[in-house]
Structure 1
């Protein structure tokens, strides 16, 4: 016996309907916003230019800039709410505390963004009118096609009057006209999402370039400045740590080595056997000092990383860990040196934290190529509770990653497990 499953009729996707309605609302309200913005901007600019020879002209121009700024903020809000797109607000130039009235009035006129806002208030009327017109025409065509059969009986009908259907050679009479208008309405309905999307995107694109483009540039400048500051902080912290490690380790051993060799020299004549034992101890100190210096050099620029690449260096790092580590490492060749160094530093610092603070019995290192970045993940089965504020090296990791535009993630609930993840941008390779 064969069972046939009846499927409901296909309907328009809910997301498409919602997007079309929001685009239509944005396009229709564009003209409503652009018209008063245009009128106020042109009026105030003209008045201010006419009075510029006196102080009142500056005040009027400043008022024009502030009015345009208000309309610009409203437009950014419309883009966020109706179009769901990012529309950052640029940092406006602000008057300093203690400035007088005239200086405060001039401050908006010294801000390039104020003139971009004024430009938008003027040119936005063009794209706003186009968006409004296209949206009204398409919705009118849909409404006309759906209802023409009803209201056509009230249209005047003369002896020589011919309808659109008759002019196109599709027949004459009310039925032909109704069918033609219905077909046009169907075409308008099917093309409505793309028509309103196109005009909304045109208007929003012009608005974004004038009202938010500078904000993106400011964000990029802040990001670069933050990365440069993070690089300096990370470098300074690394130098302080290196100085402290040398002072507490190799330097103390060298001092002891000098004292042992001096004692051995004094013992050579009176007690040669004791001098030989002292020299043996000094040789052991030399070996330990060399090994400690090698360990410190690995933290700066590991020879294995330089000679054989990141893959081998990370595998060696996992093999030398005090806690058993399961390594899942697959990185591409030809990465920039700063990417390799940063990735090695992240894994090294994370495994050091695991060994020193977590109380874990095992750990897992996962490093993979994620397209334009390396994904680094170090997980342990320790007690958890790790936090950057505790000074376990995680704050230094974040600084090091910020210096290369990377990011750090930390998940460490009480009781574990602790997961340290990082994205290290690789850039063009």
Structure 2
């Protein structure tokens, strides 16, 4: 049994370790293929959307005097929603951070099929914003961004390759050369004389290099323009996010209450069926031994031996039950030391792998819940999985640096990030087949983690191995070092 504990510390980057400007520029180039793919498809998709939605919408408007006109308008709203969702997906594929979609719940919930799916979109402002984006906004900005992208790429690639294909262009008695016009404008009155074709090739090459050098900035700016428009028209509203947050908090609170109630009920049942029954028998054995102490010392001795065995078994059961609570070592020395003690006491070899320092102290409720989850998972692996070895892995991770933060400061930003998640994994080589069943252990753990707004991930194919991960969000201020 081994414990691999490696403390990690975040140090301020030294000047020699700070990224150069070229590193930030290189990060821009890495996104260019994705951004070009996004930008070059913008106008075709926008024209297709306009060609489909506009006839539908105006036909529906013109047919409102007839009954079926409203259904054509509603169809145009649904089609607009499809093109808007496609825009959000394409932005995510281009490397931009995902934009949260609206809550597509009609305001007429409970009104049946007609109120929900037919007339619901009419009362939802998001559908009309998606229609506005598909019919007007997207075609306008797509034509602009597509034109700038095509011109920029054409000038860049055409300029650096002009010396290859210029010889195949019939020049005739050409008298107009672009480089002459530029040089005369920059240096009026000059009398320079050199080969016109050579000057044009050099000029085109320099121009192409300049356009290619600035291409990442152009593609990034145009993609950000599309993202800004999409965030304003296609993203969810702040009020919806608050409503979703309230719903999540309510669900978390309900799950936490249910998990605590289930834990208390299970503890009550375990105490009643285990230690309490043993203590009753212990009391009876001691009373019988007391009665026979004078008349039958040998029988009294036998009863006392049985009482001692009962006391030992009761103590072991109480120790097993106490593993579900916070042990003193958790409060005194922290989560890593408590998990190390848990691994040492396990009847099956447990290897603890931690990237947390022993001095790292997390909020009390986080440490208690993490210890309880780890103890429960290790106990399940010992009792039900038939495992011969168990790995207990614990670490923290910070928020990932988004592409918007990439550039010269990305490395420094990543180094300065604070832990935002506590990750705890229990991996065993048992028989597998673990799943959440209502009223059983894993379901209770899932409810406990939901109460902390965490996530339980289970990967347990039949035959094993079993990998169960508990991911617990940390407070915004991060972990406190004592």
Q: TM-score, normalised by structure 2?
A: 0.64
Q: Which residue of 1 aligns with 2:372?
A: 345
Is 1:31 matched with 2:43? yes
Is 1:72 matched with 2:84? yes
Q: Which residue of 2 aligns with 1:123?
A: 137
Alignment counterpart, residue 136 of structure 1, candidates 128, 146, 150:
150
Give structure 1 stretches of 5+ with no counterpart: 1-14
Q: Residues 68, 46 of structure 1: CA spacing in aligned structure 2 closer, same or farther, 3 A cutoff?
A: same
| Higher Cα Rg, which structure | 1
Alignment counterpart, residue 256 of structure 2, candidates 204, 215, 231:
231
Q: Residues 331, 422 of structure 1: CA spacing in aligned structure 2 closer, same or farther, 3 A cutoff?
A: farther
> Over residues 369-391 of structure 1, what are the superposed CA-to-partner deviations in whole Å (9 max), with x where a residue is unaligned?
445334434455x5x21221397
1:90-109, aligned counterparts within 5 Å?
A: 90-93=102-105, 99=112, 105-109=118-122
Q: Residues 264, 39 of structure 1: CA spacing in aligned structure 2 closer, same or farther, 3 A cutoff?
A: same
What is the alpha-carbon distance in structure 1 between the residues aligned to residue 63 and residue 125 of structure 2? Answer: 22
Conserved in 2, the CA contact under 8 Å of 1:397 and 1:408? no
Using CA pairs below 8 Å that are at least 6 residues apart, which structure has the higher relative contact order? 2
Q: Residues 165, 292 of structure 1: CA spacing in aligned structure 2 closer, same or farther, 3 A cutoff?
A: same
What is the alpha-carbon distance in structure 2 between the residues aligned to residue 370 and residue 82 of structure 1? Answer: 25
Shift of 1:313: 2.0
Conserved in 2, the CA contact under 8 Å of 1:324 and 1:363? yes
Conserved in 2, the CA contact under 8 Å of 1:369 and 1:375? yes
Root mean square deviation, CA, Å: 4.9
Shift of 1:199: 0.8
Q: Residues 239, 140 of structure 1: CA spacing in aligned structure 2 closer, same or farther, 3 A cutoff?
A: same
Aligned length: 408
Higher mean displacement: 369-378 or 317-326: 369-378
Conserved in 2, the CA contact under 8 Å of 1:48 and 1:60? yes
Q: Which residue of 1 aligns with 2:267?
A: 242
What is the alpha-carbon distance in structure 1 between the residues aligned to residue 39 and residue 331 of structure 2? Answer: 58
Conserved in 2, the CA contact under 8 Å of 1:264 and 1:275? yes
Give structure 2 stretches of 5+ with no counterpart: 1-26, 399-418
> Over residues 115-172 of structure 1, what are the superposed CA-to-partner deviations in whole Å (9 max), with x where a residue is unaligned?
33134333334432331231133134236632677658379759xxx73332223757
Q: Residues 276, 210 of structure 1: CA spacing in aligned structure 2 closer, same or farther, 3 A cutoff?
A: farther
Conserved in 1, the CA contact under 8 Å of 2:109 and 2:115? no
